[in-house]
Amino acid sequence: MEIKLVKDILQANEVIAAQNKELFAQKGIYVINLMGGAGAGKTTLLERTIERLTGRRRMAVIEGDIATSRDAERIAAHGIPAVQINTGGECHLDGNMVRGGIGQLDLAGIDLLVVENVGNLVCPAEFNIGEDAKAMISSVAEGDDKPLKYPLMFQVSSVLLLNKIDLLPHVAFDVERFRADALKVNPRLEIIPISCTTGEGLDGWLRWLEERSGKRGT
């Protein structure tokens, strides 16, 4: 009974996610679903990304959080459209919540939309929102054992940002073990080590993003 209902919820979500996806395709918007545990560095990555893509892509961000509008305020301070969704306790975004967020954006003015999911290494991976690609961010401070312990997000993501590599001298983290385990879970995963503090590796991420998102604005 419980399992059946979970299936129903996931199927209903798929319908709405497909509608979102069709709308994004019509408008020529490339959409990233950015996921990761709380504190992995999702919002900071977005801030660095916005700074570097100014004039090259017309970006917008939908922020998913359980409470507060802090992340949307951080993003809006960089001068791009930002919509905050408060899930009211829910541990992930779903297609319907994102549909609500889309309604607050001028889609004609956007090339690239990043939806920052709730900080959670588990549940967001189960729900499509109509994205073109799922990106995940993992911090070296979280430890190198995460790919095998939390495999789903690694499986469904196209790209993995391994963040906070500036902390590597101070934490026990085996990059090669992490990389091997992540590729065992998802052999097609592209892994880009970065530091949003020093800027190291961000060029690779920007390249990944620009190759995929079109530029229609100018």
Q: Rounded CA gap, 112 and 171, in Å?
A: 34
Helix, strand, coil share of the chain (percent; to 5) = 45, 20, 35
- Taking CB under 8 A as the criterion, the residue among 81, 119, 130, 193 binding its own copies is 119
- Taking CB under 8 A as the criterion, the residue among 18, 108, 122, 180 binding its own copies is 122
Q: How many residues bind its own copies (CB under 8 A)?
A: 36
47 scored as a contact of its own copies (CB under 8 A)? no
- Taking CB under 8 A as the criterion, the residue among 22, 51, 73, 145 binding its own copies is 145
Interface of this chain with its own copies, residues 123 to 142, rule: CB under 8 A: 123, 139, 141-142
> 113 with 82: CB under 8 angstroms?
no
Q: Rounded CA gap, 58 and 213, in Å?
A: 10
DSSP string for residues in 10-50: HHHHHHHHHHHHHHHHHHT-EEEEEEB-TTSSHHHHHHHHH
204 scored as a contact of its own copies (CB under 8 A)? no
- Taking CB under 8 A as the criterion, the residue among 38, 77, 108, 180 binding its own copies is 38
- Taking CB under 8 A as the criterion, the residue among 171, 180, 207, 217 binding its own copies is 171
Interface of this chain with its own copies, residues 76 to 95, rule: CB under 8 A: 89, 91
Q: How far is the CB of 188 from its own copies (least distance, A)?
A: 20
What is the edge-to-edge ordering of all strands in the sheet holding 190-193? 82-86, 59-65, 112-116, 30-35, 133-139, 159-163, 190-193
Q: Which is nearer to its own copies, 134 or 146 (CB)?
A: 146
